[in-house]
Amino acid sequence: MSHKSGVVDQMIIFFADVLPYIVIFFAFLFLIFHHEILKKENPLKALIQKWKEFFLLFFSSVTAWVFAYILKFLFKTERPFIALEGVRSLFSESGFAFPSGHSTFFMALAFSIFFYHKKAGYIFIVFALLIGMARIMAGVHFPIDILGGYLLGFLIAFFFKNV
C-alpha cells in the first residue's frame, strides 16, 4: 500500500514510526496521573506502593522486546522489501523481520496495562494494532511477523502478571 499517495504514505509513517514514541509517553503519563502519584504528599512512597504494576508494565515490555530480538536471530527471516520484488518500504529498516519487535513490545505494554486497567488497556491494544498494521503497509513486515509479535508480547505480559 505504500508509494501510492504522499498523504497516505505520511500517515503510514506516522503510525509505524512516530506513534510508538507517543504511546510510550502516554503509558508513562497514564500510570503517573491515573494514580495521582504527583499529587501525593510523598510521591516516591506512592510510586513504591504501585511497584508491581510499574514493574509488570515496563519489565514485561522490555523483556518482550529482548526476546523478539533473540528470536529474530534464530529465525533470520527477511523483510518484505528484500524477499519480494517490487516491494519498496517507506522507511529504512534493518535486521531480520520475525517477530516484529514493535508489535511484541507494544502488545506486551498494552496487555500489561489491560491487566490492571481494562478500559485504558483496550486503548493501548488499539495502539498496538495500529502500529503493527502500519508496519505491514509500510513494507517492513509480513503479517506473520506482526502476528508473531502480538502473540509473544501477550504471552510475556501474561507470564509476568502471573509471577
Nearest Cα neighbor of 109 from 91, 88, 123 is 123
At residue 2, the pLDDT reads: 60
- CB-side exposure of 147: number of CA atoms within 13 Å? 3
pTM of the model: 0.85
Task: Check residue 12 and give its pLDDT.
Answer: 87
Residues tagged active-site = 102, 141
pLDDT of residue 104: 97
Instruction: Locate the domains of the chain by residue range.
Output: 6-161
The stretches of 36-87 forming alpha helices (DSSP H) are 43-49, 51-75, 80-83
Element (H, E) at 158: helix 143-161
Between 144 and 163, whose confidence is greater? 144
Return the C-alpha cell found at 89: 518500504
3-state secondary structure of 97: coil
Q: What's the pLDDT at 46?
A: 66
pLDDT at residue 38, as a whole number: 62
Report the pLDDT value the prediction gives residue 35, as an integer from 0 to 100: 61
Quick one: pLDDT at residue 108? 96
Backbone angles phi, psi at 149, to 5 degrees: -65, -40
pLDDT in tens, 72-113: 999 999 888 877 787 777 777 878 889 999 999 999 999 999
What is the per-residue pLDDT across 14-71, written as a single tens digit (0 to 9) for each?
A: 999 899 999 999 988 887 777 666 667 777 776 666 777 777 888 999 999 999 999 9
Mean pLDDT along residues 117-136: 94
